[in-house]
Amino acid sequence: PLAEKLEGAHEEYALKHPWLRESPVKPKAVVRDMYTAAMTFAEYVAHLKIQRSEGLLLRYVTDAYRALRQTVPEGFRNDELDDIIAWLGEMTRLVDSSLLDEWAQLSALTGMEVETEDVPPPPSRPVTGNERAFRVLVRNAMWRRVQLMSDDDVTTLASMDGGGPMTRQAWDDALGDYWDEHDDLYVDADARGPQFFEVEKKDRIWLVRQIIDDPEGNHDWAVHARVDLDASDEAAELVIQTLSFARHD
């Protein structure tokens, strides 16, 4: 994606730094695709059917995280990019915490001659320890549900909340009611905007709401879910349960 634009920018920069031409730009869409699809690492591995090569994906995602964190100047960042960086870091840490924590520890020792094996790993932190990154995990989980709703994939939706109130039949009924009122359910960049995502914090429980962007702009339907922070820390992954999909006032 954006190959022509990226190559042009690289060439312009190389006019003053000619040695860069020895390392041409190689555009890839892996991280972009993962974020757009709102998939976890495990879901993306299963989606691509690369279980035997997931280490390569992990290395690539880790490299993308390092590049964004280390090379993008603060003045060129915005909230969306900061969220993506936080999400990449947390996703990589959850998959292989030793890899990322070790690198972070070494980065803090800039200028010191320290071998990797001599650096003790830092204390592990809970998945909710980085609130910004955890919030992105929650937003992605809610957005994944919206994408599946747009496809009427009630089977997968129900499987994401095993034992909860949103059974396959409950999803089917709720989506049927929605389609009776609206002809479409938007899943574009605007529909994913922060204005459609709300969090109510109650101690160690988050009640979250993902508002649906409908063609009429009524925004009168929403997915409601419950996030258990203590359970998430214990499981070392997001623990979220959909409570309902219904019209709201």
Q: pLDDT by residue for the chain (249 residues), tens digit each?
A: 788 998 999 899 899 999 988 888 888 888 999 999 898 888 899 988 988 888 888 888 989 999 999 989 999 999 999 999 999 988 888 886 555 555 556 556 555 444 444 434 444 689 999 999 999 999 999 999 999 999 999 999 999 987 789 999 999 999 999 999 999 999 999 999 999 999 999 999 999 999 999 999 999 999 999 999 999 999 989 999 999 999 987
Question: Domain boundary residue among 85, 118, 151?
Answer: 118
For residue 123, tell me if it sits in a domain.
Answer: no
Note the helical H segments in the chain: 3-14, 30-37, 41-48, 54-71, 79-95, 97-107, 131-150, 154-159, 168-181, 229-235
What's the CA gap between 140 and 38, in Å, rounded? Answer: 5
The pLDDT, as a whole number, for residue 1 is 72
For residue 126, tell me if it sits in a domain.
Answer: no
Query: How far from the centroid of its chain's Cα atoms is residue 32's Cα?
Result: 10
- Number of Cβ within 10 Å of residue 64's Cβ equals 19
- Same domain flag for 9 and 108: yes
| Strand pairing class (221-228; 197-202) | unpaired
- Same domain flag for 83 and 150: no
Question: Domain boundary residue among 95, 118, 141?
Answer: 118
For residue 124, tell me if it sits in a domain.
Answer: no
The pLDDT, as a whole number, for residue 52 is 83
- Same domain flag for 168 and 207: yes
Cβ proximity of 14 and 21 under 8 Å: yes
What's the CA gap between 157 and 29, in Å, rounded? Answer: 26
What's the CA gap between 49 and 64, in Å, rounded? Answer: 21
- Same domain flag for 114 and 136: no
Query: How far from the centroid of its chain's Cα atoms is residue 159's Cα?
Result: 19
Number of separate domains in the chain: 2
pTM for this model (two decimals) = 0.78
CA distances from residue 71 to 8, 40, 75, 212 in whole angstroms, order as listed:
19, 25, 11, 36
- Same domain flag for 135 and 235: yes
- Same domain flag for 136 and 220: yes
Closest CA to 44 of 92, 104, 98: 92
- Same domain flag for 82 and 10: yes
Domain residue limits at 28: 3-118
| Strand pairing class (240-247; 205-211) | unpaired
The pLDDT, as a whole number, for residue 59 is 87
- Same domain flag for 164 and 108: no
- Same domain flag for 112 and 201: no
For residue 203, tell me if it sits in a domain.
Answer: yes
Question: Domain boundary residue among 68, 94, 118?
Answer: 118
- Same domain flag for 12 and 108: yes
Q: Which amino acid is at 79?
A: D
- Same domain flag for 109 and 39: yes
For residue 125, tell me if it sits in a domain.
Answer: no
- Same domain flag for 44 and 74: yes
